[in-house]
Amino acid sequence: MSEPLQISLNNALSPMMEEFLYFNDYAMTMLLMIWFSVMTTLFIISTTKLYNISPNDANHLEFMWTLLPVLVLMFIALPSMRTLYLLEDQNPPHLTIKTLGHQWYWSYEYSDYENMSFDSYMVKEQDLTNGSPRLLEVDNRMVIPTKSTVRLLVTAEDVLHSWALPTLGAKTDAVPGRLNQLIFTTMRPGVFYGQCSEICGTNHSFMPITAESMPMKQFENWITTLLN
């Protein structure tokens, strides 16, 4: 969960989020190098009188200022293509969950079990327990097993929504009549918070997403409790 005055991305809790953080740091390093080079050039030009006013063509210079941007784009594009490939090249899922967006709550259906579905509403401020985050806690969390590949099928019943969990690097639109897919794996137990990321009406700010990752044994006990 994000903290006040936080300027960096959330810590990674899934392998794909680690890849996103790596690419973000890599791209920011390239941008800082470009910024430093431009500022150094401007400083040298503005503080020295050693310039050439000869009308001769500078073919080598023109070649270099065309080649360098191409190299920079290649250095950024290749890691980006690798990340996109890893995003699509996922292991077969161990669990499938169907997520349905409503105005203004989420419904979850565990397709691998019979009669296993529930709605998830935001907990009102007066009903929060100590330590629960405001506008982010729900009455029924989506529970997933740790270190297991989960497939999330996302759609909507009424208007456009967007299911997003930043710490897992997971985000996709919930579109009526269309089924979008997310595949992710959590690396450790914990509670993860997100929100609808598509303006979907008056109470858009009041349909949070809360997922809880727990070991497989505890997950099986949770499933057994709900089914009974």
CB of 150 closer than 8 Å to CB of 144 = yes
More confident site: 208 or 57: 208
Q: What is the pTM of this model?
A: 0.80
Domain 15-88 fold:
Helix Hairpins (1.10.287)
Span 95-227: which CATH code?
A: 2.60.40.420
Instruction: Name every residue whose Cβ is closer than 8 Å to that of residue 216 and which is 6 or more positions away in sequence.
Output: 145, 146, 148
> What digits encode the pLDDT tens for the residues 195-227?
998 888 888 888 999 999 999 999 999 998 888
Measured distance CA(151)–CA(223) in Å, rounded: 17
Give residue 54's pLDDT band: very low, low, confident or very high (50, 70, 90): low
**Ranges assigned E (strand) in 78-207:** 95-102, 105-110, 117-120, 142-145, 149-156, 161-165, 170-174, 180-185, 190-195
Q: Interior CA angle at 46 toward 42 and 52, to 5°?
A: 95
Domain parsing of the chain, residue ranges: 15-88, 95-227
> What digits encode the pLDDT tens for the residues 101-134?
998 899 999 988 888 889 999 998 888 888 888 8
For 177-186, what is the mean pLDDT? 91
pLDDT at residue 213, rounded to an integer: 94
Quick check: do 15-88 and 95-227 share a fold? no
* Residue whose C-alpha is closest to residue 104's, from 62, 159, 50: 159
